[in-house]
Amino acid sequence: MIRSATVIRRSSEPNPPEQFQQWLNRVARPIEFASRDSFAHLPTVKNLNRFVSSQVMQALSDRVYPRAIEAALLQLRELFLEDQQRLPAEDQQRRLQEATVILGVLRKAVRDPARAWQDPEPIVVRE
């Protein structure tokens, strides 16, 4: 038996792609700042690993995302599991470059909500 539920959302609440875009901007800001001017600002950004990891985990706990988005979020978190300051400068820069690529993939998903945010197929459980 398949049941459906109606979700009532306040008109002031952004829809999932808009909420995700806001979240994405918040996470991207320190990554982009650290990468700016050939990584000149990298030493000033502290606790990036903790921030990114906690933000990703919060996002994943807030809602269910399409598989591609969830995979990209987990990749982003994986990049920031190790403390930024303990890595050599080259590794820090490489990690930020990889994070920028992942952020680009996530931004593309937000720009094409019809594809990325379509409702998943219902799961039918047979008894």
Say if 52 falls within a structural domain.
yes
pTM, two decimals, is 0.77
Q: Which domain holds residue 41?
A: 16-114
Number of domains comprising the chain: 1
Q: How far apart are CA 60 and CA 71, in angstroms?
A: 11
Q: How far apart (Å, rounded) are the C-alpha atoms in residues 49 and 84? A: 6
Q: State the pLDDT at residue 14.
A: 61
Assess if residue 37 is contained within a domain.
yes
Kindly state the DSSP code that residue 40 receives in the 8-state scheme.
T
> Does 7 reside within a domain?
no
| Pairwise pLDDT comparison (107 vs 126), residue with the higher score | 107
pLDDT at 125 > cutoff 80: no
